[in-house]
Structure 1
Amino acid sequence: MEAFLKEYSTLLLYEKNLSENTVNSYQSDLKKFFDFLNREGISDPDEVTSEIIAKYFEEIRRIGIDSSTSARYMSAIKGFWNFLESMNYVSSNPTEKLSGVPKSRKLPSVLSVEEIDSILKCVDVSSPIGLRDRAILELFYSSGLRVSELINLRIPDLLFEDEVVRVLGKGSKERYVPVGSSAVYWVNDYLKRGRPFLKNKVKSENIVFLNRRGAKLSRMWIWKIFERYSNEAGIEKEIHPHTFRHSFATHLIEGGADLRAVQEMLGHADISTTQIYTHIDREFVKQTHRDHHPRG
């Protein structure tokens, strides 16, 4: 196998024009796999099966190799066996049946309840714009809407008698999302005392949240609203509209909400997307232990 690796490295250097450092990295990753094969008593590439490769990745997972490194190892192994197959050095390619190693998702930034309160309190509600901004922030946190869902809300979508809003999510899928009493109060207050001063007969139609010209807000303007009030509140975390969505989901799960219910509220097609919030919850629990346990 070492002889094959030497030939493969020459190919990468002189035909694929990869740098020497890159080739050395490939060699290092593959030699780790070869060491594993030696421990398994395998010296012939034709003896390597997809099950053997899967066993290798299970082993490195147990010793704590992260998913990004595992994905790199998989890429090196696939590239090497593709080379062996192209040169007819093996009768079959065991990597064809293998999918890539999924990379772990970066946990999104989440605000505490106290941080959200401090942002909300920064809004001056004595003006129509302030009333609008407070209503937007309250609704984001209360219902976990996406930016596109919020800016496209129309007045008939506010079904406050049933304590829900109707939204058109990804893939034009309609769903009904619960809305809390605080958000209902502030949206209604905006509709009564703020929106009439922003309304434009030509541009407004039935859009709920309007800019100064009476037209629908842009996605960029929503970002500016979050940036402004988080700065005023002295929040040092990176804040964007999705941060309120992440916080909405995380606080529900911290409070014991059912994962399927949170999936429905967020409009996730696959529950695996929602499960990232259980990881955030575990981080919250660990941080609580560190902060409050006498030997944390």
Structure 2
Amino acid sequence: MHSNVPKGFAADLSAFKDYISLERGLSTTTLDAYLHDTTRLAEHLDSCNIDKFSDANRHHLSGFFVVLSNLGIAPVSRARYLSSIRHLYRFLVSAGRATADVTETIQVPAKTRHLPSTLSVAEMVRLLQSVGETIAGVPPTKYELRDRALLELMYACGLRVSEVTAIRQRQVLFDMELIRVIGKGSKERMIPIGMTAITWIKKYMNEARAQLITQKPTDDVLLLSKRGTMLSRMSVWNIIQQAAGKAGIQTHVHPHLFRHSFATHLLEGGADLRAVQEMLGHADIGTTQIYTHVDREYIREVHTLFHPRNKSEHD
């Protein structure tokens, strides 16, 4: 619990923390966000001489969002605050700690939804092939084999950085061509790998992984750092930057771009939206649907270029 929680709110926030961590099974990141946001609300209410959450009304909450706006908090972050606070009040009402949910009439701040950037299939292939190949008779190093396995796995399965770095060897089911992934909220999903990624993972495991093992326990982690431990987020970012540089890709390349490209390329190829949702591990299909907007832009461009009624009579 945050040390700066005003006294009158501490018991409610402690009970809320127990609820979201034990009963809801939320990820650590989401849990921290909920507690941060609701603690900020407690501090605001305390400054307004409100002693506890149940004494606040919608005007107090509206004032809190005005303060956030004046502080320059972005709309998407204010929307997250509202989501956290709504979860808090729903819990308080259900637990008998408040008589009314005062968030019901609070409007969600407008969120600007940006279309995710992606690489084309050709760019992705170029990036992948920039690492781990034998060039002029010189075989790849142990690090290059690891990096190629990492990149192939991220693109083949659309994994988050936190997911790919945590993969254990036992989670790769070679015979079934599947990988067992533990995602947000400790939810498990099975994702097809594909033979190309399998080939590179096996090559890395057979030729390089043993060379990366040190005296430190590996905990069966698949992709090892030079210290023989789990790769860090920054290490993954650096690996991707180096590969993009070798491939001559000018687009800003980052780890999540592999996930965006994975989803977009599947949908462009005719994949079912719900199948992509399942592979990405999205709880809400609305989150997956943003990738259909990317595909629609491509479709619109094709229509504009090639449909006879979209051409001038003088073309």
- Residue in 2 that maps onto 1:177: 191
Name the aligned partner's letter for residue 167 of structure 2.
Answer: L
Q: Distance in 1 between matches of 2:187 and 2:261?
A: 23
TM-score (norm 2): 0.61
- Residue in 1 that maps onto 2:255: 241
Residue deviations 1:129-165, cap 9 Å, x none? Answer: 1111111111111100110000000011011211111
Name the aligned partner's letter for residue 198 of structure 1.
Answer: L
| Unaligned ranges ≥5, structure 2 | 1-74, 79-103, 134-139
Q: Does 1:165 align with 2:150?
A: no
- Residue in 2 that maps onto 1:99: 107
- 1:98: Cα distance to partner? 6.4
- Residue in 2 that maps onto 1:115: 123
Name the aligned partner's letter for residue 114 of structure 1.
Answer: A
Q: For residues 218 and 245 of structure 1, do their structure 2 counterparts lie closer, same or farther at Cα, with a shift above 3 Å needed?
A: same
Q: Does 1:254 align with 2:268?
A: yes
Q: For residues 242 and 291 of structure 1, do their structure 2 counterparts lie closer, same or farther at Cα, with a shift above 3 Å needed?
A: farther
- The partner residue of 1:210 within 221, 224, 230 is 224
- 1:178: Cα distance to partner? 1.0
- Residue in 2 that maps onto 1:139: 153
> Alpha carbon RMSD of aligned pairs, Å?
2.1
Name the aligned partner's letter for residue 125 of structure 2.
Answer: D
Q: Distance in 2 between matches of 1:282 and 1:123?
A: 32
Q: Distance in 2 between matches of 1:228 and 1:292?
A: 38
- Residue in 1 that maps onto 2:42: none
- 1:241: Cα distance to partner? 0.8
Residue deviations 1:184-238, cap 9 Å, x none? Answer: 0000110000101111242323000011111110011001111111122111111
Residue deviations 1:216-274, cap 9 Å, x none? Answer: 10011001111111122111111101101100000111111111111110000111100
Q: Distance in 2 between matches of 1:288 and 1:232?
A: 31
Q: For residues 224 and 291 of structure 1, do their structure 2 counterparts lie closer, same or farther at Cα, with a shift above 3 Å needed?
A: farther
Q: Distance in 2 between matches of 1:290 and 1:194?
A: 49
Return 138-147 or 123-132, whichever deviates more. Answer: 123-132
Name the aligned partner's letter for residue 107 of structure 1.
Answer: L
Percent identity of paired positions between Structure 1 and Structure 2: 50
Name the aligned partner's letter for residue 215 of structure 1.
Answer: T
- Residue in 2 that maps onto 1:129: 143
Q: Distance in 2 between matches of 1:290 and 1:127?
A: 47
Q: Distance in 2 between matches of 1:233 and 1:172?
A: 35
Aligned length: 204
Q: Does 1:231 align with 2:245?
A: yes
TM-score (norm 1): 0.65
- Residue in 1 that maps onto 2:10: none
3-state secondary structure, aligned to 1:275: helix
Q: Which has the larger radius of gyration?
A: 1
Map residues 23-62 of structure 1 onto 2, 5 A cutoff.
none
